[in-house]
Structure 1
């Protein structure tokens, strides 16, 4: 089972020639309303990637957006019994995408801040589960869920995205003490290393040092440069990305995490699961949006067969 505890947002997406600088206004001809939130994105990616059951826990508002988000998750075959109705409005993300496919995102957390680990069904914390966490819900709840899963004998995958502004060295140490795998992009890797007191090094050296420092597997997603896996001993392993025409990178990182977790829960070894996740993340860059661009299991299988 993949068990995702995280955020649910509605994404308001517009295309612009260039992302606005401070004090600047840019125009777009139209916008789209899409389903998002890093937690929900990762759950959808996991559900599409395999037949492994996916369960989601978090909070949405008692509003039309919250009802639509819940229905969308259920339509993907995701169990939502642990998706609570909060008192705040459903979270929203405001996304600008430039002509090169790069994005700038502002998130209004809303009901996501009401997600509570103690409200989750205790039966979900079990040895056969892979818990997936991100950083768009309260830090204390992330830690509590990780510690509950560690105590139950399940595995914990933490995606340090986005890095909270107030994240401390103690906070990071507590999260990773209850985790098995840390997934970061290049910026998040640098932020984690700085908190750990690891000096400036190359990306591979930093990943290895971080893995050794916290006794976790560190997976660094590097966009077109693929994925780096550091397990604390020896040289890190590199996996290539698939060559694709990039339309929109929104959700590519979430696609990697969700597909990786589903492959891990399905019995694949870390490197094999990461290879599947990397292929899926590449495929997700071919279309606009996060969940709308996430590939199916058949698409991932075909891409890997032709790689």
Structure 2
């Protein structure tokens, strides 16, 4: 089983000619609503990739007692994500405000709401004991994430931690504490460089060197995603595995990183080697960019297998 501990949001998306600069207003014809939150996105991606396979997906998260919260709960259920560990709080359901420009690039502001009320205790031991992979992100309390990760490691569960969005951590000791309970760290180029800066590793803008230094310094497997350049897994001994990205013309890159993480978790839970798991994850992330919305383009298992079979 894959267990995702993390955020649940409703995404409000506006398409713009260009993303506004500070102090600037740009107009959009309309705003559309989509299901989101990095935790929920990763759970849905994992569940769709798992559908018809041997692995189940469950999620622990927090929602508000409001229409957005009920809609998000039903959406997880419709995507075969076990939601028995969802908690309804007095805080409003989280919302993300997203602008997407003509090239598919995006800018995102998140109002956390109920996500910051999520507690480690919301993930019961009986559910964690069934897991082979735990997936975490940075949109809920870091302290609660750390507690859940420590519990998972003690139970022999593989911890996959997506260091996104980059939190306001400035101390090497805080990063070390996080990585001590992590088996696989997933970052993009910018996140890899941000960690390297925090821990004082001089990498001169080289994201692969950053990933290598993180892996060797903290004894984790560091996966760096690099958009059209694919993804690189770097082991503590410095060895690398590369998975290529499929060439596409993106419509909306929102959720591509979450798709990668969810499908990677599925591959690891099904016993794939890291390279094969990343190949599937890169293909799924590419497919997700062909449809607007974080979850709308996430492929199911059948669509992913068809895509992987193409030369």
Partner of 1:157: 160
In the TM superposition, 1:1-307 aligns within 5 A as: 1-50=1-50, 51=53, 52-126=55-129, 128-166=131-169, 168-201=171-204, 202-307=206-311
What do residues 13-42 of structure 1 show as CA deviations (whole Å, max 9, x unaligned)?
A: 010000011111111111111100000000
CA contact (8 A) 1:5 1:131 kept: yes
Shift of the 128–120 alpha-carbon distance from structure 1 to 2, 3 Å rule, reads closer
What is the alpha-carbon distance in structure 1 between the residues aligned to residue 144 and residue 153 of structure 2? 14
Alpha-carbon shift at residue 126 of structure 1 (Å): 2.8
CA contact (8 A) 1:117 1:142 kept: yes
What do residues 142-172 of structure 1 show as CA deviations (whole Å, max 9, x unaligned)?
A: 1000000001111000000001124532222
Alpha-carbon shift at residue 209 of structure 1 (Å): 1.3
TM-score, scaled to structure 1: 0.97
Q: State the aligned residue count.
A: 307
What is the alpha-carbon distance in structure 1 between the residues aligned to residue 222 and residue 104 of structure 2? 27
Pairwise CA RMSD of aligned residues?
Answer: 1.2
Alpha-carbon shift at residue 232 of structure 1 (Å): 2.1
Alpha-carbon shift at residue 205 of structure 1 (Å): 2.0
Question: In terms of mean alpha carbon deviation, does 80-89 or 164-173 score higher?
Answer: 164-173
What do residues 170-211 of structure 1 show as CA deviations (whole Å, max 9, x unaligned)?
A: 222111101100000011000111122211243222211110
Question: In terms of mean alpha carbon deviation, does 21-30 or 231-240 score higher?
Answer: 231-240
Question: In terms of mean alpha carbon deviation, does 228-237 or 214-223 score higher?
Answer: 228-237
What SS does the aligned partner of 1:93 have? strand
What is the alpha-carbon distance in structure 1 between the residues aligned to residue 164 and residue 76 of structure 2? 21
What is the alpha-carbon distance in structure 2 between the residues aligned to residue 232 and residue 119 of structure 1? 33
TM-score, scaled to structure 2: 0.96
What is the alpha-carbon distance in structure 1 between the residues aligned to residue 300 and residue 131 of structure 2? 23
What is the alpha-carbon distance in structure 1 between the residues aligned to residue 305 and residue 238 of structure 2? 30
Alpha-carbon shift at residue 128 of structure 1 (Å): 4.5
Alpha-carbon shift at residue 276 of structure 1 (Å): 0.6
Shift of the 9–127 alpha-carbon distance from structure 1 to 2, 3 Å rule, reads closer
Runs of 4+ in 1 over 6 A off after TM superposition: none
What is the alpha-carbon distance in structure 1 between the residues aligned to residue 171 and residue 81 of structure 2? 33
